[in-house]
């Protein structure tokens, strides 16, 4: 179908859930059959390359045909026989259910039209190129609305935007909400040299305003904000060292930029960036906040200019902002991160399987939950593996209860410690050892 023929794929979801509002039976344990309602807060999907064409306006069809005829996909997983996990709805539902997962938050995965590589990391040199890529992202969003409609209530799709034209982004957020993409938006990275304003800029206030107004979370995924480094061995190693740090930058840019003070209902989610770093980084941000605000009151100090206006702009300190406005998509949460849940905020943590990526937990999500959460009270586990995501992304837990009663992992199962990881597991959830990272 073309853009004018696109059908509304939206399906209403209940939005009101408390922090620990999980499907519970009379005995107070998750599920009437003692099972958890698992919602993966980090999954990925996208159309097969040529299937984007019907979602483009007709004026782009010839250009798309030319582009698609010469495009070489750089990603092995999108060339493999299993690539259809990204768009085959029936296969996807079956594999997730077999893994104990009843619903998912959908980040993009495949390449949208007119992009040379991953959409969030590709520089845009000209306005003409922007127009082409914007058309490609809008095609993805329209495909995603239809894909979510194939499994009503079980998919929260995340719309893609660009930051080059804020009004275009605002209009797309409104379209996304009206058409059932309740997962919010994917915030592109702004690496050095991107050519767009930094994320702390007030230029983005119209975007933050519409997201706050419509209850659309702003999601920032790991790996989306690094500058291009090349393909040399050293470059790849440096990428691994720096990639999460560049993704974390969105947190302090929006915090110090006062975005949450001006838009108190704005919600930021940091996904697949780990979670062990959060307490240490919040301590660091609180330190600088206190130091700079204090210095601003003493005009004679050398640091006074660095803190000028900061207190008024931010309103609250970084840790307070985190507790009020921020969440972590704790993909394949590792055992050494779980003891930090009190410092991170139990109601802020959302487990994710990262399906269908190789580093994801499938087909061993039950084992990954055991490795992370055995010994943790069932109510807390229920919040982290489903309740928090339901509250933020608007899933109706009562509507998911029947599926959870059929496929969800049991409380007793998750409580059983995992002695040995599956020998063929590829997820970092099963990596030996592990220490809490604070950078």
Tens-digit pLDDT profile for residues 257-292: 999 999 999 999 999 999 999 999 999 999 999 999
Q: Above pLDDT 70, what percent of the chain?
A: 90
> Strand 218-221 vs strand 185-186: parallel, antiparallel, or unpaired?
parallel
Output the CA angle 139-386-359, nearest 5 degrees. 65
The arrangement of strands across the sheet holding 159-160 comes to 159-160, 185-186, 218-221, 268-271, 326-331, 349-352
Which element (helix H / strand E) includes 335? none
Both structure tokens of 191:
């690496």
Both structure tokens of 150:
């194939």
Q: Decide if 435 is inside a domain.
A: no
Distances (CA, A) of 99 to 9, 33, 40, 88, 381: 26, 17, 11, 17, 17
CA torsion angle for 336, 77, 122, 200 (degrees, to 10)? -20
Please give the Cα distance from 334 to 354 (Å, whole number): 14
Ramachandran angles phi, psi of 42, nearest 5°:
-150, 95
Q: Decide if 173 is inside a domain.
A: yes
| Ranges 188-192, 257-261, 304-308, most confident | 257-261
Residue, of 225 and 177, whose pLDDT is higher? 177
Among 379, 366, 380, residue whose Cα is nearest residue 414? 366
Q: Is the pLDDT of residue 30 over 90?
A: no
Long-range contacts of 287-291 (CB under 8 A, 24+ apart): 289/256, 289/314, 289/317, 289/318, 290/317
Q: Decide if 245 is inside a domain.
A: yes
Both structure tokens of 429:
């959830």
Task: Say if residues 100 and 400 touch (Cβ distance below 8 Å).
Answer: no
The model's pLDDT over 200-229, given as tens digits with 9 standing for 90+, comes to 999 999 999 999 999 999 999 998 888 888
Residue, of 124 and 50, whose pLDDT is higher? 50
Q: Is the pLDDT of residue 114 over 80?
A: yes
DSSP codes of every residue in 4-65: GG-------------TT---B-TTSSBSTTSB---EEEEEEE---GGGGGGGS-GGGHHHHH
Q: Is the pLDDT of residue 2 over 80?
A: no
Note the pLDDT of residue 160. Answer: 96
Please give the Cα distance from 332 to 416 (Å, whole number): 18
Q: Above pLDDT 90, what percent of the chain?
A: 75
Q: Decide if 326 is inside a domain.
A: yes
Output the CA angle 43-45-47, nearest 5 degrees. 180
Please give the Cα distance from 334 to 418 (Å, whole number): 12
Q: Decide if 129 is inside a domain.
A: yes
- DSSP letter at 330 equals E
Please give the Cα distance from 275 to 332 (Å, whole number): 10
Q: Decide if 436 is inside a domain.
A: no
- What is the b/e burial string over 245-268, where b = at least 16 CB atoms within 10 angstroms of the residue's CB? ebbbbbbbbbbbbbbbbbbeebbb
Q: What is the CATH number of the domain that holds 330?
A: 3.20.20.140
Lowest mean pLDDT: which of 11-15, 43-47, 144-148, 350-354?
Answer: 11-15
Using the structure block, give the residue that is written with the tokens 């119209």. Answer: 206
Please give the Cα distance from 414 to 372 (Å, whole number): 9
Q: Decide if 248 is inside a domain.
A: yes
**Quick check: pTM over 0.85?**
yes
User: How many other CB atoms are there within 10 angstroms of residue 240's CB atom?
Assistant: 9
Residue, of 346 and 77, whose pLDDT is higher? 346
Please give the Cα distance from 397 to 190 (Å, whole number): 35
Distances (CA, A) of 394 to 37, 108, 192, 330: 14, 19, 34, 18
Both structure tokens of 360:
């994801």
CA torsion angle for 199, 355, 32, 414 (degrees, to 10)? -100
Q: Decide if 437 is inside a domain.
A: no
Both structure tokens of 392:
């933020």
Beta strands in 113-271 (DSSP E): 155-157, 159-160, 185-186, 218-221, 268-271
> Strand 159-160 vs strand 155-157: parallel, antiparallel, or unpaired?
unpaired
As for how many domains the chain has, the answer is 1
Mean pLDDT of 217-243: 89
In this prediction, residue 73 has a pLDDT band, given cuts at 50, 70 and 90, of confident
Task: Say if residues 374 and 63 touch (Cβ distance below 8 Å).
Answer: no
> Strand 103-108 vs strand 268-271: parallel, antiparallel, or unpaired?
unpaired
Please give the Cα distance from 72 to 51 (Å, whole number): 16
Task: Say if residues 285 and 230 touch (Cβ distance below 8 Å).
Answer: no
**Domain of 167?**
3-430
Report helix, strand or coil for 119: helix
């Amino acid at each position: 179908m073309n853009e004018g023929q696109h059908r509304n794929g939206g399906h209403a979801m209940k939005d009101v859930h408390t922090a620990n509002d999980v499907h519970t039976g009379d005995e107070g344990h998750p599920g009437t059959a003692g099972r958890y309602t698992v919602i993966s807060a980090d999954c990925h999907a996208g159309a097969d390359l040529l299937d984007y064409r019907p979602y483009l306006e007709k004026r782009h069809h010839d250009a798309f045909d030319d582009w698609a005829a010469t495009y070489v996909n750089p990603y092995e997983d999108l060339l493999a026989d299993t690539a259809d996990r990204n768009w085959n709805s029936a296969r996807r539902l079956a594999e997730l259910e077999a893994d104990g997962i009843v619903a998912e938050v959908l980040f993009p995965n495949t390449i949208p039209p007119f992009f040379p590589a991953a959409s969030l990391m590709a520089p845009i040199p000209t306005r003409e190129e922007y127009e082409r890529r914007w058309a490609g992202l809008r095609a993805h969003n329209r495909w995603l609305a239809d894909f979510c409609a194939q499994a009503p209530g079980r998919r929260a799709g995340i719309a893609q935007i660009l930051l080059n034209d804020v009004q275009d982004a605002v209009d797309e957020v409104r379209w996304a909400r009206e058409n059932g993409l309740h997962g919010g938006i994917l915030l592109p990275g702004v690496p050095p040299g991107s050519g767009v304003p930094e994320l702390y800029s007030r230029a983005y206030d119209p975007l933050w305003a519409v997201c706050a107004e419509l209850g659309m979370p702003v999601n920032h995924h790991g790996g989306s904000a690094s500058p291009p480094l090349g393909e040399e061995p050293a470059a790849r190693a440096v990428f691994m060292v720096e990639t999460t740090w560049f993704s974390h930058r969105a947190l302090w840019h929006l915090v110090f930029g006062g975005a949450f003070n001006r838009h108190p209902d704005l919600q930021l989610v940091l996904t697949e960036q780990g979670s062990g770093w959060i307490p240490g980084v919040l301590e660091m941000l609180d330190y600088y906040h206190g130091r700079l605000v204090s210095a601003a009151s003493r005009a004679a100090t050398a640091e006074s200019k660095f803190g000028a206006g900061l207190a008024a702009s931010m309103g609250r300190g970084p840790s307070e902002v985190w507790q009020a406005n921020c969440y972590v998509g704790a993909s394949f949460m590792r055992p050494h991160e779980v003891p930090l849940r009190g410092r991170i905020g139990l109601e802020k943590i959302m487990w994710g399987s990262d399906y269908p990526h190789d580093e994801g937990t499938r087909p061993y999500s039950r084992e990954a939950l055991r490795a992370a959460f055995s010994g943790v009270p069932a109510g807390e586990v229920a919040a982290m593996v489903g309740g928090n995501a339901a509250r933020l992304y608007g899933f109706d837990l009562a509507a998911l209860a029947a599926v959870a009663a059929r496929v969800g992992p049991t409380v007793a199962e998750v409580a059983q410690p995992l002695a040995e990881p599956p020998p063929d597991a590829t997820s970092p959830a099963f990596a030996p050892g592990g220490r809490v990272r604070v950078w």
